[in-house]
Structure 1
Amino acid sequence: MRKRGSVAGVSGPDRSYIGPVSTLPLRDDLSLPFQVEQCDVRGRIVRLGPALDSLLARHRYPEPVAHLLAEALVLVATMGTALKFEGVFSLQAKGDGPVSALVADYRTPGHLRAYANFDAERLEGLELGPGGTTGLVPLLLGKGYLAFTIDPRSEDFERYQGIVDLSGASLADAAHAYFAQSEQLNARVVLAAAHRRGSDGRRAWRGGGVLLQQLPLDPGGLTQEERAAAWEKMQVLLGTATAAELTDAALGQNEILYRLFHEDGVRVFETAPLLDQCTCTPDRVKGILSTFSTDEIEAMAVDGTITVTCQFCSESYRFPAEVVRRAAGSLDA
């Protein structure tokens, strides 16, 4: 296997090839599509920094839970940014382990949100492996399933859901089982997350990942044998990407792609921004509350006030019970 180059890469204008000299500033919270045309492969690299850190910091999850949720967000970002229509790409894992549920979703044009339900007492008794980040799927989620859902906003496209058993040691392993079941073409992904200490001494969450997909067969392009050999080579090269590289704030996304694939000429396209953005609003929450019966509204009220906390962003909303009753009454009228 060849040694990877260690020279910084950079993209020029849109749809340009990466070169060996970097003059662009480093950027975070983005998805960058790319293509390795000589090998019939396309893909996306995702880098998450401040958006991921702010999302996880609001919940104050235990470190292993936050790590697993960070990888889930990287995964939905790498897959969701491939949507060619407005909609939602979501991941939902349910198991019998200390983490009973994990949800992450990507909403066009680049909004991310996520949450996890866990049993604190069961987490305390766990014996984590080296670094506390290996084998998290069987350790935290246990036995269960992983569901990927594509929910278009347009009636021109149908809702799709693929479900696989939780298998392997990582979310990447589970994703590969989904690819094998659902994709007509080969696909492979690497995911990474880390709670790293920055130059200011503060620890912050970072995440990164690379998704590879084999392009459809071109009758005038590579033969079947050449495509198989090229895909095998791309998987080997992808496997050399380390978690340290993918989560290094000082290492740009173009440099990572150059290190991995520059021998075959990697071409990059326009980046897509990624944001920590929930969908909850006061009006939306009040609208949901107004669908409950009068007795249910009374049961939810404490000292005449109903408090609702969003699972995704931890934002709390408070409404006078009388206001909710009036809203519910207007719906019944």
Structure 2
Amino acid sequence: MTTNTTPIWDDSVLPFQLDRADVRGRVARLDGALNTILGQHNYPPAIEALVAEAVLLTALIGQTIKLRWKLSLQVRGKGPARLVATDYYGPTADGQPARIRAYASYDKDMLDPTGPAFPQIGEGYFAMLLDQGAGTTPYSGITPIAGGSLASCAEAYFAQSEQLPTRFALSFGQSQLQGQRAGWRAGGVMLQQMPKASPLAGNVGGSGQDGLLTAQDLLHGEDGEHWQRANILLDTVEELELIGPGVSPDRLLYRLFHEETPRVFPTQPVNFGCSCSADKVRNSLSIYSAKDIRHMTTPQGTVTADCQFCGAHYVLDAATVGFEAKKEAPGA
């Protein structure tokens, strides 16, 4: 008999609420999904680290979106690490897993492959985009790159764009369980003050880097005390507790926040998943004329395209591509 030794809480996000502190949060654990994402590419260590952090942030943030919605995170910089992009697709139905994918682009000649990752982004911006589906206008928000990590960028984003005090504690890297191959594991905790009317609505100045708002700018009085207490407790977390697998998310919550009356909600499973398809490639090429398509056509009479997220390779009949294309025969 084969025994599955993978902990049941891996590749999942556990939502919770601290009733005493009026704070909500999530605990995320990723292993298989993250290994699949990074396994699609041969990134140098610095880029792998940025992608791992971005994927973990996206899983924590994305858990709140509704069924069939899409959350995208983008980090663009002027340094060697040019772009990190992630997509989180809400479940198609209750009880179904969410899907996540990611990729990065970089200047291999400028990159220090084993050097510190975050400084190699340089100046740039951190952006989130929420797509609620057909017939709606996607919502987007952008803040400058700030702090010393993607987590600090996300904290600045929520303070500035959403005026929601937010805190992340993350851990990620290569690890190895006894008797198993080494692989990527990531884990983290997200805390967020329950939404309220902000006393700084319309105020563009804050105490953070480059005048950005911070959690301290948004909270005062009893709310500030609750927030500070929850953050002090989160400061005691250890990296091995964050990534597991020896400590389950519910045990971690009890260890950290048992005095704050934690309340947990149903766990959201997260899988790797890519939305690419031949039809989407064909649609993306529909803006080109027949003349443009001829410049893209191979000697074999095909147009090829590769998905940057999953590496899927598409070969299309050139005659079926572009706005002057003929309709492809049914079943082709």
Same fold by TM (over 0.5)? yes
Give 3-state SS (helix, strand or coil) of 1:120's partner: coil
Match of 2:104 among 116, 120, 124: 116
| Cα deviation 1:222-248 (Å, max 9, x = unaligned) | xx7333212101011122223332223
Match of 1:197 in 2: 176
**Seq. identity, %:** 39
Q: Is contact 2:319–2:325 with CA below 8 Å preserved after alignment?
A: no
Q: 2:310 is matched by which residue type in structure 1?
A: C
| Cα deviation 1:5-63 (Å, max 9, x = unaligned) | xxxxxxxxxxxxxxxxxxxx632111111011011111111111101101111112111
Match of 2:281 in 1: 285
Q: Is contact 1:26–1:251 with CA below 8 Å preserved after alignment?
A: no
- Whether 2:292 is the aligned partner of 1:296: answer yes
- Whether 2:63 is the aligned partner of 1:94: answer no
State the alpha-carbon separation in 2 of the partners of residues 160 and 287 from structure 1.
23
Q: Is contact 1:86–1:154 with CA below 8 Å preserved after alignment?
A: no
Q: 2:312 is matched by which residue type in structure 1?
A: E
Q: After TM superposition, give the deviation of residue 145 of structure 1 in Å.
A: 0.8
Q: 1:149 is matched by which residue type in structure 2?
A: L
State the alpha-carbon separation in 2 of the partners of residues 301 and 199 from structure 1.
51
- Whether 2:167 is the aligned partner of 1:170: answer no
Match of 1:141 among 102, 105, 121: 121
| Cα deviation 1:243-282 (Å, max 9, x = unaligned) | 3322233332112212211122211110111111011012
Q: What's the TM-score, normalizing by structure 2? A: 0.81
Match of 1:207 in 2: 186
Q: Is contact 1:192–1:208 with CA below 8 Å preserved after alignment?
A: yes
Q: After TM superposition, give the deviation of residue 115 of structure 1 in Å.
A: 0.8
Match of 1:153 in 2: 133
Match of 1:313 among 310, 313, 318: 310
As a proportion of its length, which structure holds more helix? 1
State the alpha-carbon separation in 1 of the partners of residues 26 and 75 from structure 2.
23
Q: After TM superposition, give the deviation of residue 161 of structure 1 in Å.
A: 1.4
More RCO (CA 8 Å, sep 6+): 1
State the alpha-carbon separation in 2 of the partners of residues 217 and 325 from structure 1.
49
* Count of aligned residue pairs for this structure pair: 294
Match of 1:78 in 2: 60
Give 3-state SS (helix, strand or coil) of 2:105's partner: strand
Q: After TM superposition, give the deviation of residue 150 of structure 1 in Å.
A: 1.4
- Whether 2:247 is the aligned partner of 1:260: answer no
Question: What residue ranges of structure 2 are gaps of 5+ in the alignment?
Answer: 1-6, 92-97, 198-219
Moved over 3 A (4+): 322-327
Q: Is contact 2:287–2:323 with CA below 8 Å preserved after alignment?
A: no
Match of 1:59 among 19, 41, 54: 41
Q: CA RMSD in A?
A: 2.4
Q: 1:116 is matched by which residue type in structure 2?
A: A
Q: What's the TM-score, normalizing by structure 1? A: 0.81
Match of 1:18 in 2: none
Match of 1:16 in 2: none
Q: After TM superposition, give the deviation of residue 326 of structure 1 in Å.
A: 9.8
Match of 1:4 in 2: none
Q: After TM superposition, give the deviation of residue 215 of structure 1 in Å.
A: 2.1
State the alpha-carbon separation in 2 of the partners of residues 73 and 277 from structure 1.
12
